[in-house]
Chains A and B, each alone.
Chain A
Amino acid sequence: MIAVTAAVILLPFLAAVAGLLGSRFPRGARGGAADLAANRRAALIAIVPAVLSMLLALWTAYVSLTGTGVSTGTLDVIPTGSLPISVGLLVDPLAASVAVLVTVVALAVQVYSVGYLAGDRRYPSYSAFISLFTSAMLLVVHAADLLVLYVGWEVMGLCSYLLIGHWWEDRANSRAAVKAFLVTRIGDVGFLFGIFVLGMAAGSFRIADVISQVPQMSSGTVVTATLLLLAGVAGKSAQVPLHTWLPDAMAGPTPISALIHAATMVAAGIFLVARLHPVFAGAGPTLDVLAVAAALGMLGAALAALAQDDLKRVLAYSTISQLAYMAGALAAGADGAAILHLITHGAFKALLFLCAGIVIHTVGSNLMSAMGGLRGRLPITFVTMTVGFAALMGLPPVSGFFSKDEVLVSMERALAAGPLTDAAALLLYGCALATVAVTGAYATRAWLRTFFGERRAVPLPESATPHTGLAKSATTPGFPESTTPHTDAPEPASPRAGLSELATPHTGPSVTAHTDSPEPTTPHTDLFGSAPSRTGGLREAPATMLWPVIVLAVPTLLLGFTGVGFAGAADVHWGTAALSVLLALLGAAVVYVVWRGAPLADPARVLGPFRVPLERAFYVDSLYRALFVLPVLHLARLVARTDDRVIDGAVRGSGRATLSLSGLVRLTQNGNAQLYVTAVLAGVLLLAVGAVVLG
């Protein structure tokens, strides 16, 4: 069992090593055909171990869920002088089911990426990083020791950084990567110290030992440790107040957003809290903090999602919101509900992102103002994405309905009894219900804006001349827009959007879309091996991108019925369920009514003056910039200036002082031999006198 688990973890790791070292081996040729050959080989290296790993993970989960329960194995114990580190693995239903999620989504993303990044020069390293990430995530999931878990945790952060910055040629992308890295690092410092506090208090880093030792610890220790851990959780799972990196992380390729920044890595924080849930259950204040952060995060992020124009940012804020749901469930003491939602969310959010990737790939822009009317052009994507949005809204019978129901029920129960204080529980439940409505609203808005209405993809005024801004946004699907929030609130957020507004009234659905003209699609072809058709308008994506979407849609639809061993269709709480569905439909209905009024305009316009704050996500980024970034920059400049003036000045000054002092000494070095002899004789005399007197 443990050996199989080790294989599950090691297979992607070996794939990563092989992909990094072997894709161009032995010739190391670059360019053109060599790139394509390397990409083919890298795809093979990445996908085959992913398939094997997924099959093994499925088997492990089957065995674990049907009987054997928990099994642990220690590969090695590293003596450190104080507390030994036991390199061990752990298989239990929790780990096994999350591992299945990870491997399935990873495989889907790997397959999807073959089409999405066909022709990309750096595809081999990209796929290797995904393999490395998969391995690290599996290590986190299966780790039996907190420090081993931490290793995987950090490697995930590294992979996230590398993959967000995949297109680092664009400065905004590398900045987004650095931002994600730094913000999660802040949390990870707390996380590491939390591990130390727990390990020292328990006398062991083994998770089982730590959990068993919790009753013996003082409450202060537990609260301190869990609060520190919570910092890491907030950083990794993008919870308030460390959530700001996630929307910017959408600068990475869309499959990466699907895998790392929606389905798996961001769920690692939630998973960790679930893994150490007995510890957290013993720390009431920490749960209160978690509940308040989750409540603020879920409602705030959902509202922010309501106003975004960038499809990926909508999904990113929705991820923050849904993760906050899980955190809220954990705070309410229902780790089963949280994990169920984690798994269903992993499935449907990965599905949504992959579908969004297809849409973006086809349209050539991230902005919803450039989409619309894609229902007929992308029928498969439309169906699968509809399933995903339904799961996001929590509509029956899709999986999200069941998991969200569980979460809401657990929060409702926390009102009556549970570790939370009444105020925190009330806030949490109220926010959760409000968020259901807002979720319905923003999901409906995104759905309508993307697939319904009239096509807003329009020809350029002179379609023969390449438009630099357009070519750029077609080459790198919309990153410049995605990382810079639009400051001017109404529709014309980008040049293309402005054009669409001008052109729409007299073009209508019959015009040839801009992607038909050869010029903008040429860069398209460079990036994606199979360009959208040049004659037939917008067309479905290649099969490697469609199949993962279809495969992911199945669990999104059906996962709720299986229950994944935690909860399921059998125990749906109809009262809460009805309330939440009602709320979601209410939100959806409002948006629909607004949209009906003017199908071409953005339903978010009814937000009026609140739209800009929502689009900027309540100015949290600006606040952080004013509070932390600018002072740090000023401090850095001060340090640099101090270094330049004071420290270097001291060095230079000491040099100059020595020179001038030596000038004084040099006065005696005037070449007069008589003076020298005088000095020598005087010295001899002094020595003689000294010898006589002292001797």
Chain B
Amino acid sequence: MHVVYPAVVSALLFSIGVYGVLARRNTILVLMSVELMLNAVNLNLVVFDVWLRDRLHSGQVLTLFVIVIAAAEVGLGLAIILALYRNRATVDLDRLRALAEFPVPSPEDADDHLPENATEETAGQASRASAATGPTRPPGRDDTPEATP
């Protein structure tokens, strides 16, 4: 078998995984895309193992290891996603802006998926704050600790 065929398939899979990681906003979908990338690597490993006729079968063994690690990664990743969902009530990546220096509200945040009690409380605070300081002040972000004094 020509090595080019599996190699090209692997490259395409990897690129698709990259697209998924970059373009999807649901964290579980991102996790799936990561799996795609891992599988692309696995395919490569197997092909090269066959091609090089490795006596130790390091390629295939490494593939097994990667599968195991991927399983562990998915387990942990899902646990993290669940914890995230519990705390922030969302699993959308582009809503998780705690890394920003000055978190600015994005226009699409007007309709938030917020926990019910939190929504009313913080929204009330924000409207009160904006009434106090004037109309130019942007409403505070609800998923960032700084914006809710």
Listed stretches B52-60, B63-71, B82-90, B101-109; interface member? B101-109
* CB <8 Å contact, A672 and B22: no
Which of A666, A673, A678, A681 has a CB less than 8 Å from the CB of B99?
A: A673
* CB <8 Å contact, B104 and A672: no
The answer to whether A669 has its CB under 8 Å from any CB of chain B is: yes
Q: Which residues of A contact B96 (CB under 8 A)?
A: 671, 673
Least CB distance from B92 to A in Å reads 10
* CB <8 Å contact, B98 and A681: no
The answer to whether B21 has its CB under 8 Å from any CB of chain A is: yes
* CB <8 Å contact, B100 and A681: no
Least CB distance from B23 to A in Å reads 8
The answer to whether B93 has its CB under 8 Å from any CB of chain A is: yes
- The distance in angstroms between the C-alpha atoms of A673 and B94, with both chains bound, is 7
Which of A670, A676, A681 has a CB less than 8 Å from the CB of B18?
A: A681
Asked whether A681 and B97 contact (CB < 8 A) given A666-B102, A670-B104, the answer is: no
- The distance in angstroms between the C-alpha atoms of A681 and B100, with both chains bound, is 20
| Per-residue contact bits, chain B 90-134, to A (CB 8 Å; 1 contact, 0 not) | 000110111111111000000000000000000000000000000
The answer to whether A66 has its CB under 8 Å from any CB of chain B is: no
Q: Which residues of B contact A671 (CB under 8 A)?
A: 96-100, 103
* CB <8 Å contact, B22 and A674: yes
The answer to whether A677 has its CB under 8 Å from any CB of chain B is: yes
- The distance in angstroms between the C-alpha atoms of A671 and B98, with both chains bound, is 6
Asked whether A677 and B21 contact (CB < 8 A) given A666-B102, A670-B104, A671-B103, the answer is: yes
Least CB distance from A399 to B in Å reads 89
Closest to A685 in B: B18
- The distance in angstroms between the C-alpha atoms of A672 and B22, with both chains bound, is 11
* CB <8 Å contact, B22 and A666: no
Q: Which residues of B contact A672 (CB under 8 A)?
A: 93-94, 97, 99-100
Least CB distance from A40 to B in Å reads 74
Q: Which residues of A contact B99 (CB under 8 A)?
A: 669, 671-673, 676
Closest to B23 in A: A674
Least CB distance from B111 to A in Å reads 19
Q: Which residues of B contact A681 (CB under 8 A)?
A: 18, 22
Least CB distance from B94 to A in Å reads 5
Q: Which residues of B contact A678 (CB under 8 A)?
A: 22
Least CB distance from A549 to B in Å reads 83
**A:673-695 near B, CB below 8 Å:** 673-674, 676-678, 681
- The distance in angstroms between the C-alpha atoms of A670 and B103, with both chains bound, is 7
Least CB distance from B71 to A in Å reads 23
Asked whether A666 and B101 contact (CB < 8 A) given A677-B21, A678-B22, A681-B22, the answer is: yes
Which of A669, A670, A677 has a CB less than 8 Å from the CB of B22?
A: A677
Least CB distance from A71 to B in Å reads 83
Q: Which residues of B contact A674 (CB under 8 A)?
A: 21-23, 25, 93-94
Least CB distance from B41 to A in Å reads 16
* CB <8 Å contact, A669 and B94: no
Q: Which residues of A contact B100 (CB under 8 A)?
A: 669-672
- The distance in angstroms between the C-alpha atoms of A309 and B22, with both chains bound, is 96
Closest to B100 in A: A671
Least CB distance from B138 to A in Å reads 14
Q: Which residues of A contact B103 (CB under 8 A)?
A: 671
- The distance in angstroms between the C-alpha atoms of A429 and B21, with both chains bound, is 107
Closest to B144 in A: A671
**A:160-218 near B, CB below 8 Å:** none
Least CB distance from B103 to A in Å reads 6
Least CB distance from B17 to A in Å reads 11
- The distance in angstroms between the C-alpha atoms of A676 and B94, with both chains bound, is 11
Q: Which residues of B contact A673 (CB under 8 A)?
A: 93, 96, 99
**B:14-48 near A, CB below 8 Å:** 18, 21-23, 25
Q: Which residues of A contact B25 (CB under 8 A)?
A: 674
- The distance in angstroms between the C-alpha atoms of A673 and B100, with both chains bound, is 9
Closest to A682 in B: B22
- The distance in angstroms between the C-alpha atoms of A681 and B23, with both chains bound, is 13
- The distance in angstroms between the C-alpha atoms of A672 and B102, with both chains bound, is 12
Closest to A669 in B: B101
Closest to B98 in A: A671
- The distance in angstroms between the C-alpha atoms of A431 and B50, with both chains bound, is 122
Least CB distance from A73 to B in Å reads 78
Least CB distance from A327 to B in Å reads 76
- The distance in angstroms between the C-alpha atoms of A669 and B104, with both chains bound, is 10
- The distance in angstroms between the C-alpha atoms of A674 and B93, with both chains bound, is 7
Closest to B101 in A: A669
- The distance in angstroms between the C-alpha atoms of A107 and B99, with both chains bound, is 84
Q: Which residues of B contact A677 (CB under 8 A)?
A: 21-22
Q: Which residues of A contact B97 (CB under 8 A)?
A: 670-672
Q: Which residues of A contact B22 (CB under 8 A)?
A: 674, 677-678, 681
Q: Which residues of A contact B21 (CB under 8 A)?
A: 674, 677
Closest to B104 in A: A670
Least CB distance from A671 to B in Å reads 3
- The distance in angstroms between the C-alpha atoms of A677 and B30, with both chains bound, is 12
- The distance in angstroms between the C-alpha atoms of A678 and B96, with both chains bound, is 16
Q: Which residues of A contact B94 (CB under 8 A)?
A: 672, 674
Closest to B106 in A: A670
Least CB distance from B84 to A in Å reads 12
- The distance in angstroms between the C-alpha atoms of A548 and B15, with both chains bound, is 109
- The distance in angstroms between the C-alpha atoms of A669 and B94, with both chains bound, is 13
Least CB distance from A687 to B in Å reads 15
Closest to B25 in A: A674
Where the two chains meet, the residues of A that have a C-beta atom closer than 8 Å to any C-beta of B are 666, 669-674, 676-678, 681
Where the two chains meet, the residues of B that have a C-beta atom closer than 8 Å to any C-beta of A are 18, 21-23, 25, 93-94, 96-104
A-B contact pairs, 5 of them (CB 8 A): A666-B102, A671-B99, A671-B100, A672-B97, A681-B18
Closest 5 CB pairs of A and B: A671-B100, A671-B97, A671-B99, A669-B101, A670-B100
Apart from A671-B96, A674-B22, A677-B21, 18 more pairs, CB < 8 Å: A669-B99, A669-B100, A670-B97, A670-B100, A670-B104, A671-B99, A672-B93, A672-B97, A672-B100, A673-B93, A673-B96, A673-B99, A674-B21, A674-B23, A674-B93, A674-B94, A676-B99, A677-B22
